[in-house]
Structure 1
Amino acid sequence: MHEPHTRHAALPSRQRRRRHTTLGAAMIVVVAAATAYLVSRPGEAPTGDAAPPQLKSSALPRTSATTPPARHREPGTVTLAFAGDVHFTQRTAVRLDADPALGPLSPVLSAADFAMVNLESAITTRGTPEPKLYHFRTPPRALDALRRSGVDAVTMANNHAVDYGPEGLADTLSAAHDSPIPVLGIGANDTEAYRPYVTEVNGVRLAVLAASQIQDLTNATFRAGPNRPGIASALDRSRLVSAVRAARARADVVVVYLHWGTEGQSCPGPEQRSIAADLSAAGATAVVGTHAHVMLGSGMLGPTYVAYGLGNFLWYGSSPYPHSDETGVTTLTVTHGSVTAADFAPALVDGHGVPEPRTGAAARSISDRYEQLRQCTGLTPAPRQQGR
């Protein structure tokens, strides 16, 4: 994503999966208003295959307003949750010390077998700002704050990952190497940056890749190369498509998280639709992404689920676009390699930058508008979970 206008990697970490049927014996309930969350996850930074996943655990009791209903995962079924852009700066800097950092939508992320967001920030306290208007950075503990919020991996293939130049990039790569969760789409060279995170969940082999399609200073100056650190670029389409095809050869489910689109535009541009088609043909199970500061439509492109814009999530300021505070978490159910359900938990970014779940008429308003956004995408409706 481009800078908004505001007014007011080594070894992979092991997955944590939440087993709903044993929560009572596994945790301590800590809250009254769906705001406290506790999770434990050992691990290392991403690159190759992961060890068998651990269970996710949460001390936050599930409520119908914020989480999918408990259900048994049959072998061959995996649930994947996705949310949008995250910052820990200005009004959201205090969220580094909040638990959970992502607020009351954290249980939706925790409930899935795998959850992912975009960290729109360099991970550094040093460096020189690049010649651009907006600069975002956060300390390494942001990664642990996201882990405690139920996030299993982040992408840093975006236009703010290298806001503080080569020194900031070196710090970011060091933080990624020591991260408690996989950091995707950035690396010491192109091999690392395009390398998928691969793990096995409930008998399902999952591969996740990330890249940026934004034509900006970061993609021009800090694109990863054979001997050059930087981000994975979707502008090198053949490289990304080849990486997806290779991942598909070794995984049952392949996810691509992209930074793409145009700020403020709620319909996908031709470059988005074109690369989505190429990634689908290469074997992607799901293609999701962010950048525009607003949600874009989602649905099925043949066998591939596509979400053209997940919107702002934990957001440092207000964007000057209609509906830019509307957001949510999308949870996909994938069974034997096919998307069998896509569920959306609507939310609104509040005055502190925190996504707050909506219920009743407010939830229906956001969900209905999100459904209407599909009209300009060329996608067909995704299946819904029965009873939802």
Structure 2
Amino acid sequence: MAGFADIFCSLYKSSRKVKTGVSLFLILAVGVFAFSGCQKAGPGLSKAVAVDVRPDITLPKPEDRDIVTVSLVGDIMVHSDQLAAAHNKCSGKYSFEGFFTEVKPFLSSADLTIGNLETTLAGRSKGYTGYPKFNSPQEILQALRWSGFDVLTTANNHAMDRKKDGVLKTIDYLDAAGIKHTGTFSSAAERNEPLIIDIKGLKIGILAYTYGTNGLEIPRGSEYLVNLLNPERVREDIRKAREKGADIILVNPHFGVEYRRSPNEAGQRLVEELFASGADIVAGSHPHVLQLMTRRDGQKDMEGFFAAYSLGNFISAQMDQYRDSGVILNFKIEKDPASGKARLIEANYIPTWVHVYRENGKIAFRVLAVEKAIRDYEQGLDKKLTEKDYIRLKQVWLETTSLLSGPLAPDIYHI
């Protein structure tokens, strides 16, 4: 796409503690982007992650402004091995809390945490299954709510895995769990009402769409069930969200090519269309691997647009290289009470990895914050990690940071 690469700049790598762990920070200053040289990691990872860089950059004082923090993750999946890990044979019940214990402090610290639920919750009578047609116990929602999730998007290629009844049951379980959702709907009226979350007076419109449903037909007359990617529909939804007072529009498109670590031209064009239609933040899913993050200057109230083409897998049983990892993408957004303008003032990502191990004679899963897990192993604090796990953690760190520090990465700042 001509000129598209011009919107990207170089990344500056460093680290910062975030309450219970350390993450890489990307500061996007208000319309002003100071450039720093690249600091390359040395041969020892522990040295690289200990660096504390403070560039000469002044941010507006926040005394009279409310700062809203938003965290996003990629695909939340439940494969057959995860079903086995969560199942208690004695009670017959399922418990998924252990999957998220280690990352709960990161997820629950945000004002708003969002993930993509890539499974259906159609009930036990429909049979619990993993790939290729997913149906998971509703107990997964209890664990997600407990760990900090506030909103789940449901528009993805597995939305129709248990047909119309599965869509409706999933919505019912989400409502019962107290989790907001968008992407699939129980009626046309519900579909036409954009999801807007009001936090500290900042209104965030959240929209979700999918490229398709794996060839599973949406019943005629029930097209409202699943939001399919359609440029005209997206523009109209964004318009409605703005009319409802949305200060920021966040779009979650389920799109792209599976297992490819870079967006294709069609994906790049789609993101451009979303920006042109009024989206401020685009956070994609579906490839099951991490893809580029991009930033470009804006002409609207928000000082610039931000796109993450794919946040990777947050939790799944896909253990191949790149598919076993993702990021928690965090934003800080502020709204000036005087002007009413909202702007993205900071973004950061925390690399994550799905640890698969044996515990009490059966398979177990947990999501780990990579840098914290590396340090815990080095300090002897996590006895569940093996040397092989430690090696993989360091690989994930390098895979993630090298991808996000390439020539197509956004301006990155650290404080």
Using the size of structure 2 for normalisation, the TM-score is 0.67
Q: Which amino acid letter does the alignment assign opposite residue 330 of structure 2?
A: T
TM-superposition CA deviations, 1:17-49 (whole Å, max 9, x none): xxxxxxxxxxxxxxxxxxxxxxxxxxxxxxxxx
Runs (5+) with no aligned partner, structure 2: 1-17, 26-60, 87-93, 298-303, 336-341, 357-363, 375-392
CA contact (8 A) 2:75 2:286 kept: yes
Q: Which amino acid letter does the alignment assign opposite residue 253 of structure 1?
A: I
TM-superposition CA deviations, 1:51-96 (whole Å, max 9, x none): xxxxxxxxxx94233799xx98863421111111112342323455
Please show how residues 242-253 of structure 1 align to structure 2 within 5 Å: 242-249=236-243, 250-253=245-248
Residue 120 (1) aligns with residue 132 (2): no
Secondary structure at the residue paired with 2:115? strand
Alpha-carbon spacing, 1:328–1:81, altered in 2? closer, same or farther (3 Å):
same
Q: Which entry has the higher C-alpha Rg, 1 or 2? A: 2
Please show how residues 10-159 of structure 1 align to structure 2 within 5 Å: 62-65=19-22, 75-93=65-83, 94-95=85-86, 97-99=95-97, 101-125=99-123, 134-159=132-157
CA contact (8 A) 1:248 1:284 kept: no
* Residue matched to 2:350: 345
* Residue matched to 2:386: none
Equivalents in 2 of 1:277, 1:194: separation in Å?
24
* Residue matched to 2:232: 238
* Residue matched to 2:251: 256
Q: Which amino acid letter does the alignment assign opposite residue 106 of structure 1?
A: K
Deviation at 1:138, TM superposition (A): 1.3
* Residue matched to 1:355: 367
Cα RMSD for the two superposed structures: 3.0
Greater shift, 262-271 or 171-180, is seen at 171-180
* Match 2:292 to one of 284, 289, 297: 297
CA contact (8 A) 2:95 2:140 kept: no
* Residue matched to 2:334: 335
TM-superposition CA deviations, 1:290-344 (whole Å, max 9, x none): 111110000213321100000011113334xx42222120101122322221101
Equivalents in 2 of 1:226, 1:251: separation in Å?
30
TM-superposition CA deviations, 1:219-276 (whole Å, max 9, x none): xx128x7644521111x22101210132134211111112111111111122221221
Secondary structure at the residue paired with 1:136? coil
CA contact (8 A) 2:123 2:138 kept: no
Q: Which amino acid letter does the alignment assign opposite residue 345 of structure 2?
A: T
Residue 222 (1) aligns with residue 251 (2): no
* Residue matched to 1:273: 268
Q: Which amino acid letter does the alignment assign opposite residue 268 of structure 1?
A: P
Equivalents in 2 of 1:342, 1:179: separation in Å?
29
* Residue matched to 1:365: 398
Greater shift, 73-82 or 111-120, is seen at 73-82
* Residue matched to 1:193: 191
Structure with more contact order per residue of length (Cα contacts < 8 Å, sep ≥ 6) = 2
Identity in percent: 22
Q: Which amino acid letter does the alignment assign opposite residue 112 of structure 1?
A: A
Deviation at 1:355, TM superposition (A): 2.1
Runs (5+) with no aligned partner, structure 1: 1-60
Q: Which amino acid letter does the alignment assign opposite residue 285 of structure 1?
A: D
Secondary structure at the residue paired with 1:162? coil
Alpha-carbon spacing, 1:127–1:166, altered in 2? closer, same or farther (3 Å):
farther
CA contact (8 A) 1:190 1:232 kept: no
Deviation at 1:215, TM superposition (A): 6.5
TM-superposition CA deviations, 1:170-216 (whole Å, max 9, x none): 32232234331112100123442353221221221111111112473
CA contact (8 A) 2:290 2:312 kept: yes
Alpha-carbon spacing, 1:263–1:353, altered in 2? closer, same or farther (3 Å):
farther
Equivalents in 2 of 1:265, 1:229: separation in Å?
30
Alpha-carbon spacing, 1:194–1:323, altered in 2? closer, same or farther (3 Å):
farther
* Residue matched to 2:410: 381
Equivalents in 1 of 2:348, 2:65: separation in Å?
20
Secondary structure at the residue paired with 1:251? coil
Equivalents in 2 of 1:189, 1:269: separation in Å?
34
Using the size of structure 1 for normalisation, the TM-score is 0.72
Q: Which amino acid letter does the alignment assign opposite residue 343 of structure 1?
A: N
Alpha-carbon spacing, 1:122–1:262, altered in 2? closer, same or farther (3 Å):
same
Alpha-carbon spacing, 1:229–1:242, altered in 2? closer, same or farther (3 Å):
closer
